Chain A
Amino acid sequence: MADGTAISCQEVVEVVTDYLEGKLSPDDAAILEAHLKLCEGCQFYLDQMRITIAAVGRIEDDEVPAELHDTVLAAFRNRRV
């Protein structure tokens, strides 16, 4: 069983992305997961990160400037002719 105290919370917040991207070594991932079992604060942090990623995925499209929109749409239409 990996030792969850081998990593501090301060270190956890710096490797969450590596963890979520599956880029931690199996040993390091095991340590992180053992830490999460012990530490509610880091569990909450990881949840916050997941919620953040979900929120980023739901932002609305920016408004395309009208002139740009009209120019490219006209070109797209002309392509058909």
Chain B
Amino acid sequence: MTQSELVETDLLAQLRAGDETAFEALVARQYATMLAVAMTYVKGRAVAEEVVQDTWLAVIEGLDRFEGRSSLKTWIISILVNKARTRGVREARTIPFTALAPEDDEPAVPRERFRGRDDAFPGHWRAYPARWHASAETAVHDRETLQVVVRAIAELPLAQQTVIRMRDVEGYSPDEVCKMLDISEGNQRVLLHRARSRVRAELERYIDG
């Protein structure tokens, strides 16, 4: 059993035993991701919050029946997606998840930061990005810096928000994310790439001033 499978088994046992602290922690940990997923299907935060709430009620009800064929969190998200989809259909708002991916070819780093075609070194940095080694500790521990990250994520298109949260906050595998959101592996990676690139750019703006 892998580490994360062990954690999952423990968590499931805790929930079944009625451990409120474990339950509250899970609700809090999953909240932003669940909200982002719900909002890709339904209109408005209030409705999305209802979907999240309904999902938890269904999870609580189904806890004893859960057979562990998928991971607990994957199961929770699949219930959420079903509920959000149904609600979205009722609202006549059925945009496939992939349609939320931007079509434009937004570069990870603005083109003007690289030398032009006529230069001796086309495509090479005009000025190097800064060395962050000294700021690395701060970046991952400083509250204010983490707030910059939170804001940067909040401003991403919903599909990117969902994927970066699932991958880099919740730690789902690429495979799990593809299954939960019903997107291709390539699509998942493009969304992740865009999201991480944008968050990096915001951090750069903050750290380097």
Contacts and interface: CB of A to CB of B under 8 A. Distances in A.
Interface of A: 8-11, 13-14, 16-18, 21, 23, 39-42, 44-45, 47-49, 51-62, 64-65, 68-69, 71-73, 75-77, 79-80
Contacts of A40: 128
B123 interface: yes
B56 interface: yes
B101 to A, nearest CB: 14
B66 interface: no
5 contacts: A14-B108, A21-B192, A47-B133, A53-B196, A76-B18
Contacts, number: 149
Interface of B: 18, 20, 23-24, 27-29, 31-32, 35, 49, 52-53, 56-57, 60-61, 63, 107-109, 111, 114, 122-125, 128-133, 135-136, 139-141, 145-146, 149-150, 153, 164, 168-169, 171, 174, 189, 192-193, 196-197, 199-200, 203-204
Contacts of B131: 44, 47
Give the 5 A-B CB pairs with smallest separation, nearest first: A8-B123, A41-B128, A17-B193, A10-B123, A41-B125
A21 B20 contact: no
B32 A45 contact: no
Contacts of A60: 146, 150
Given A17-B196, A47-B131, A52-B203, A64 B28 contact: yes
A39 to B, nearest CB: 8
A13 to B, nearest CB: 4
